[in-house]
A = this chain, B = another copy of it.
Amino acid sequence: MAAESSPAGTADQHPFDLATAVRGGPERFTAEVDPGWTVAGRPNGGYLLALVTRAALEAVGQPHPLAVSAHFLAPAEPGAAELEARRLRAGGRLSTARVTLVQQGQARLEALVTAGRIDPDAAPGWRRAGGPAGLPPVEACVPARPELPGGMRANLLDHIDLRIDPATAGWAAGRPGGRLEVRGWVRFSDGRPPDPLALLQVVDALPPSSFDLGLPSWAPTVELTVYLRGLPAPGWLACVVTGQLWQGGWFDEDAEVWDAAGNLVAQSRQFAGARTPADDARPRP
Contacts and interface: CB of A to CB of B under 8 A. Distances in A.
User: What is the total number of copies of this protein in its complex?
Assistant: 2
A20 interface: no
Contacts of A94: 222
- Chain A interface, >50% SS class: strand
Contact of A122 (B70, B179, B247): B247
Given A66-B250, A71-B69, A269-B269, A245 B223 contact: no
Interface stretch (A41-49, A126-134, A153-161, A198-206): A126-134
A44 B263 CA distance: 32
Contacts of A96: 71, 73, 110
Nearest to A121: B248
A233 interface: no
B223 A225 contact: yes
A180 interface: yes
B248 A119 contact: yes
Nearest to A117: B285
Given A110-B112, A119-B248, A248-B119, A243 B71 contact: no
Interface residues of A, number: 52
Contacts of A88: 71, 73, 107, 110
Given A74-B89, A88-B110, A128-B244, A271 B67 contact: yes
Contact of A126 (B123, B125, B178, B248): B178
Contact of A245 (B70, B124, B180): B124
Given A112-B71, A222-B94, A269-B225, A245 B127 contact: yes
Interface in A104-154: 107, 110, 112, 114, 118-119, 122-129
A225 B19 CA distance: 28
A37 interface: no
A66 B244 contact: no
Nearest to A181: B128
Interface string A240-271: 00111111101010001000000010010101
17 contacts: A67-B271, A69-B69, A71-B114, A88-B110, A94-B222, A122-B248, A123-B247, A124-B246, A125-B246, A126-B179, A126-B213, A127-B244, A127-B245, A127-B247, A225-B269, A227-B252, A229-B252
Q: Which 10 A-B pairs have the closest CB atoms?
A: A69-B69, A122-B248, A67-B223, A125-B246, A73-B89, A225-B225, A71-B112, A126-B246, A67-B271, A127-B245
